[in-house]
Chain A
Amino acid sequence: MKYELVSGLETHVELSTATKIFCSCTTAFGGAPNTHCCPVCTGMPGALPILNQKVVEYAIRAGLATHCTINEITHMDRKNYCYPDLPKAYQISQFDEPVCEHGYVELDSGKKIGITRIHIEEDAGKLVHERGFTFVDYNRGGVPLIEIVSEPDISSPEEAKEYLEKLQLIMRYIGVSDCKMQEGSMRADVNISLRPVGSKTLGTRTEIKNMSSPSFIVKAMQYEYERQAELLDRGEEIEQATLRYNESENTTSKMRGKEDAQDYRYFPEPDILTVHIPKEKIEEVKASLPELPTDKFRRYVRELGLSESTAKLIYPYRNVARYYETVLSKGVSPRTSANLIVGTVYATLKTEEEKEAFSIAVPEAELALLVSYVDSGKLQASKAGSILLQMLESGKPVSAYVREEDLKGLSDEELKKLCEGAIAANPKAVEDFKAGKQKAIGSLFGFLMKQSRGKADVKKAEVILRELLK
């Protein structure tokens, strides 16, 4: 039988605030064990949580960037479960009044993946299992997270990957997270169920926990799809379970089944007051949002006339886009500028991180100057490329390689004289041309360029030559 995949993602994004969500301890990565801790984030008796304003603000930002409604009244809840990395035996999270609800993320195809909700919560600590011991470190405990819950709108592993990459891009763009999956600052739980194509009822779902790479998500989903399809084909039932993905074997394995499912016993957190977010604040955050990635992509294509492929090479990198737009602010050609960046500058950047950082030796104004020479026909694009490469290497200005006066064109008078000279010096070519061989004019151009050391404007020269040869 043919099955269609129904999937939703719960994505945890670590927010890049300076302090933890409920105390003034630093969120800095690393540090000796339990050095970024206080009574609050280690769950000491009598300690009370104090909500960080920035966390709420970042959640609003994330919500607005994904077209969510922001709830003006929002409150925290306790999610009760006991685990050694959770010092209070409850996680302060949000249950029925999250900061954001009802948004979407748009894929390149135009398909919208619905966002059910975005809520704020605290991260847990870290356990190190060694020498028969479990060692507990609460430095990460209390680091703020947002959990972005999607609707089950995802129907292929590739869509899941694209959705996640889009989300990552948006969060980086709006500056709420660096979304480094390697450092665990973005993780996703993937829900998967299958149903016969055309069916409307949802199948039993499984959940793959804690995925931290888009490419592994694709593999895990493919594996889980096959596994479930095989079971269904054999007429067996899918067991509702929480799974773990094994990267080295590319398999999923059961962490826990329905029978030992937790009962989180959510209830309103009595230690934190309900928060009122005034409309004006929401407007203020909205006004402070940068142009979002999808909007930027569209503008590059529609207004700047870039090809989709070129636009896609620029817009995902916030620093590249910023650099590019600064170059454009000098009034030069968008396409020439884009081509020089993508064709020449990128050749010198080896890794994604380097592109991400985009710290290059050529200031925006220098590149703009170079582009302006190309725009005015004074410099050929290929020549500009080689000059740019040298500039990237040396850090020297454009003027070190080409001088403005060298680029000055010939006067019409001078050009006419040169043309006359060319005709006089190439009687054979002139004869051929007059006999009808159009190509023969090329030899005259070659002579002209040589004589003028490349300064001659070919188009103008052609007009003059044809006039003289009439």
Chain B
Amino acid sequence: MALTETEIKRLAWLAKLKFTEEELAVLTEDMAEIIEFADTINASVGTLPAGNDFARVCEFDDLRKDEVQESNLSEEVTSNIEAEDGFFPVRRRSL
């Protein structure tokens, strides 16, 4: 199932990535190649015996108890940006 450029553009919008027209052309080819590979999965899934659900289960009793732990991390939380009054600031349009 090869993708059209329109579909790729929509995926890029969902993934919050930007591509130039040239990049889009290359990417469309790349994606076609990768998807062709991914499509090999469709070849024989049906012919294999069904597996069991191996998802591990957590018992209700083992869930985390509702007890507050003060983290006092407010300064650390914002330590990787220039915080303003404790907020993460984003200028709505670059200068």
**Do the two chains touch directly in the complex (Cβ atoms below 8 Å apart)?**
yes
Binding site for B on A (CB under 8 A): 17-19, 24-26, 32-35, 37-39, 42, 44, 50-56, 73, 75, 80, 82, 84, 89, 128-129, 132-138, 262-263, 265, 268, 272-278, 281
Complex: how many Å from CA A32 to CA B86? 7
Complex: how many Å from CA A248 to CA B59? 49
Given contact pairs A35-B74, A38-B73, A136-B87, A276 touches B92 in the complex (Cβ within 8 A): no
User: Per-position contact with A for B15-32: 1 when CB-CB < 8 Å, else 0?
Assistant: 010000000000000000
Q: How far is the CB of B59 from chain A (nearest CB, A)?
A: 5
Is A274 a contact partner of B55 (Cβ separation < 8 A)?
yes
Is B90 a contact partner of A134 (Cβ separation < 8 A)?
yes
Complex: how many Å from CA A89 to CA B89? 18
* In the complex, B45 has a CB within 8 A of chain A: no
Is A25 a contact partner of B60 (Cβ separation < 8 A)?
no
The residue on B at minimum CB distance from A26 is: B68
Is A35 a contact partner of B86 (Cβ separation < 8 A)?
yes
Q: How far is the CB of B22 from chain A (nearest CB, A)?
A: 25
Query: Which residues of chain B come closer than 8 Å to A265, judged between CB atoms?
Result: 14
5 contacts between A and B (CB under 8 A): A33-B86, A39-B73, A132-B91, A133-B84, A133-B90
The A-B contact count (CB < 8 A) is 122
Nearest 10 pairs between A and B by C-beta?
A: A53-B63, A54-B66, A135-B87, A33-B86, A24-B69, A273-B58, A136-B88, A35-B74, A38-B71, A134-B90
Given contact pairs A37-B74, A52-B63, A52-B66, A133 touches B86 in the complex (Cβ within 8 A): no
Q: Give chain A's interface secondary structure class.
A: loop
B66 partner, pick from A17, A136, A263, beta carbons under 8 A: A17
Query: Which residues of chain A come closer than 8 Å to B39, judged between CB atoms?
Result: none
Complex: how many Å from CA A259 to CA B90? 28
Interface residues of B in 43-71 (CB under 8 A from A): 55-61, 63-71
Complex: how many Å from CA A35 to CA B77? 9
Is B60 a contact partner of A56 (Cβ separation < 8 A)?
yes
Given contact pairs A17-B66, A34-B78, A53-B66, A274 touches B89 in the complex (Cβ within 8 A): no
Max chain A Cβ within 10 angstroms of own Cβ: one of B58, B71, B83: B71
Q: How far is the CB of B85 from chain A (nearest CB, A)?
A: 6
Further contacts, 4 of them, CB under 8 A, given A34-B74, A38-B73: A34-B86, A128-B87, A274-B55, A275-B58
Complex: how many Å from CA A66 to CA B89? 42
Is B59 a contact partner of A278 (Cβ separation < 8 A)?
yes
The residue on B at minimum CB distance from A75 is: B55
* Chain B: interface size category: 20 to 34
Is B85 a contact partner of A51 (Cβ separation < 8 A)?
no
Is B14 a contact partner of A275 (Cβ separation < 8 A)?
no
Is A135 a contact partner of B60 (Cβ separation < 8 A)?
no
A53 partner, pick from B14, B65, B70, B92, beta carbons under 8 A: B65
Is B57 a contact partner of A273 (Cβ separation < 8 A)?
yes
Complex: how many Å from CA A136 to CA B69? 23
Is B87 a contact partner of A137 (Cβ separation < 8 A)?
yes
A19 partner, pick from B61, B66, B78, beta carbons under 8 A: B66
Q: How far is the CB of B12 from chain A (nearest CB, A)?
A: 12
Is B74 a contact partner of A132 (Cβ separation < 8 A)?
no
Given contact pairs A34-B77, A37-B73, A274 touches B57 in the complex (Cβ within 8 A): yes
Given contact pairs A52-B63, A82-B16, A34 touches B87 in the complex (Cβ within 8 A): yes
Query: Which residues of chain B come closer than 8 Å to A19, judged between CB atoms?
Result: 66-69
Query: Which residues of chain B come closer than 8 Å to A137, judged between CB atoms?
Result: 86-88
Q: How far is the CB of B69 from chain A (nearest CB, A)?
A: 4
Max chain B Cβ within 10 angstroms of own Cβ: one of A35, A55, A84: A35
Max chain B Cβ within 10 angstroms of own Cβ: one of A25, A38, A55, A262: A38
Is A52 a contact partner of B64 (Cβ separation < 8 A)?
yes
Q: How far is the CB of A124 from chain B (nearest CB, A)?
A: 14
Complex: how many Å from CA A33 to CA B78? 10
Complex: how many Å from CA A272 to CA B63? 10
Is A37 a contact partner of B71 (Cβ separation < 8 A)?
yes
Is B74 a contact partner of A51 (Cβ separation < 8 A)?
no
Is B56 a contact partner of A274 (Cβ separation < 8 A)?
yes
Query: Which residues of chain B come closer than 8 Å to A275, judged between CB atoms?
Result: 57-60, 63
Query: Which residues of chain A come closer than 8 Å to B77, judged between CB atoms?
Result: 34, 37-39, 42, 44, 138
Q: How far is the CB of B49 from chain A (nearest CB, A)?
A: 22
Q: How far is the CB of B83 from chain A (nearest CB, A)?
A: 8
Q: How far is the CB of A97 from chain B (nearest CB, A)?
A: 11
Query: Which residues of chain A come closer than 8 Å to B89, judged between CB atoms?
Result: 133-136
Query: Which residues of chain B come closer than 8 Å to A55, judged between CB atoms?
Result: 66
